[in-house]
Amino acid sequence: QVQLVESGGGVVQPGGSLRLSCAASGAASRLTFTSSAFHWVRQAPGMGLEWVAFIRSDGSNKYYADSVKGRFAISKDNSNNRLSLEMYSLRSEDTAMYYCAKDRNFGIFDSWGQGTLVTVSP
Amino acid sequence: IVLTQSPGTLSLSPGERATLSCRASQNTRYNYVAWYQQKPGQAPRLLIYGASNRATGIPDRFSGSGSGTDFTLTITRLEPEDFAMYYCQQYDKSPPWTFGQGTKVEFK
């Protein structure tokens, strides 16, 4: 089982930028990370889950929710077991807990990090 | 695909049976529906995938069923640690991957 730990959240002004990271660790984590696709999922305060972005294991395909397309960029560094989410032109509606999640297969989220909180506020 | 969960809140006592519903706006091929449990302040945890397959380490009091557009998560005998929020998710016609709005199982 791979452990995922997010970092990089914080308070940012509207229009600002932030970079989130997700580090993978645990037994066989390098092989698991390299061979796995990953997602970012967010949850606004008191609200439900919203899928944000996806990246294939080798980084060859990336998909984004319409709400973040053109403003967010997902990337994967297999040599360092690290997933990232670059967020630009942040809006108040981007305020949420952001989770990275490993894709077991076809879009089943079988491992989740503990989340990192992003607050967009003047 | 839009997923609609019902009821919004389920008020039950430990030992009772919980039945949670998830309805999809379109037919799902291969029953590509998963269920997650989320407790306050924690990340979601995968319970069920493929509509009826329990994830690793999930107790057998949790079971999933359904096909097409109607899916059900059943908890046969509620334990105190089962009182939480539950989300269904589809991974059939994706992206985007979509979640239901959640059902809260609370103490009666």
For the ranges A92-101, B23-32, B34-43, which has the lowest average pLDDT? B23-32
CA distances to A4, A10, A112, B9 from A24, in Å: 5, 21, 10, 35
Which residue of B49, B95, B99 is in closest CB contact with A49? B99
- Given this model, what pLDDT does residue B78 score? 98
- Given this model, what pLDDT does residue A6 score? 98
- Given this model, what pLDDT does residue A70 score? 98
Burial of A101: CB neighbours in 10 Å, binned 0-12, 13-18, 19+: buried
Which residue of B32, B38, B45 is in closest CB contact with A106? B32
Tokens representing residue B98 in the block:
């979509």
Write out the DSSP string of B70-95. EEEEEESS--GGG-SEEEEEE-SS-S
Per CB-CB distance under 8 Å, the chain B contacts of A116 are none
Helix, strand, coil % over all residues of chain B, rounded to 5: 5, 55, 40
B92-105 pLDDT, tens digit per residue, is 988 999 999 999 99
- Given this model, what pLDDT does residue A59 score? 92
Cβ atoms of B107 and B83 closer than 8 Å: yes
CB pairs under 8 A between A and B: 58
| CA B86 – CA B74 distance, rounded (Å) | 11
B67-94 pLDDT, tens digit per residue, is 999 999 999 999 999 999 999 999 998 8
Q: Residue A37's CB: how many other CB atoms inside 10 A? A: 19
In tens digits, chain A (122 residues) has pLDDT values of 789 999 999 999 999 999 999 999 886 777 889 999 999 999 999 999 999 999 999 999 999 999 999 999 999 999 989 999 999 999 999 999 999 999 998 899 999 999 999 999 99
Cβ atoms of A82 and A19 closer than 8 Å: no
**Which residues of A have a CB under 8 Å from any CB of B?**
39, 41, 48-51, 54, 63-66, 99, 104, 106-110, 112-115
- Given this model, what pLDDT does residue A25 score? 87
Interface test mutation site (partner A, options B36, B54, B97, max chain A beta carbons within 10 A): B97
Q: Residue A29's CB: how many other CB atoms inside 10 A? A: 16
> Is residue A77 helix, strand or coil?
strand
